[in-house]
Structure 1
């Protein structure tokens, strides 16, 4: 695997729970934001896939928590393509607290490529496969302010 695409994201107050850490369900949001920004780095936008008649749908997501993230902490989320099948692909996510790069969570999310109109599985086109294989290691998106 190549070096990961990176996204900086700041934890907002409303994302924390009664234990004063990021609520577990919010990690799915963070992963989706990171995947969307990864798509933007690879294809120009998510909409570029839709305009080609393609879309992707989550079929599996595994999240492993390694430590808490807290309000106002900046997270660094790395994204890279872990595997490519005929119609599916898996993205790997590493979430770390940027201050000291303390591990917070890691996740593997498997998507299936579908026709944007019928939502039937469709093979991943070669140029998209090539982009996933190349990755976007030089890209760092800062949404932390």
Structure 2
């Protein structure tokens, strides 16, 4: 978690279920939030990627829960690229309680790079590969309003 970009965000009331914990489907939204901030921090955002003729599509998303998150918890999400293949890359995310560092979940999302106009699979060029692997390890995006 130390060599990765971090995003801090706060659990909102509407994201919780009848058991008063974050509803399971919301974690996919958190993964998307992390991926969006990662792309902004590393490449200048998804729009910048599209301007270069590339886009990406999710082909696999796995989430392994380790503990609950509740209303008003601040979650610290670490984000890094764990693998880059010929046409795909794997984004790994780890979510923990910001103050206690207790584990909440691990997620892995696999993206396939496609042409921005035809949506046909394309190879990830070396420059993009290096940017994805380098990530933005010193960047913390604070969406939680904490210090």
TM tier, shorter chain?
Answer: over 0.9
Cα deviation for residue 2 of structure 1 reads 7.6
Which residue matches 1:23?
23
Which residue matches 1:114?
114
Aligned residues: 145
Moved segments of 4+, more than 3 Å: none
> What is the RMSD of the two structures over their aligned residues, measured on CA atoms?
1.2
Cα deviation for residue 53 of structure 1 reads 1.3
**TM-score, length-normalised on structure 1?**
0.97
2:83 and 2:51 map into 1 onto residues whose CA distance is 24
Q: Once the two structures are superposed, what CA deviation does each residue of 1:56-99 show, in whole Å capped at 9, x if it has no partner? A: 10000110000000000000000000101000000110000112
**TM-score, length-normalised on structure 2?**
0.96
Which residue matches 1:90?
90
Identify if the C-alpha distance between structure 1 residues 2 and 72 changes in structure 2 by more than 3 Å, giving closer, same or farther: closer
Identify if the C-alpha distance between structure 1 residues 2 and 21 changes in structure 2 by more than 3 Å, giving closer, same or farther: closer
Consecutive unaligned residues in structure 2, runs of 5 or more: none
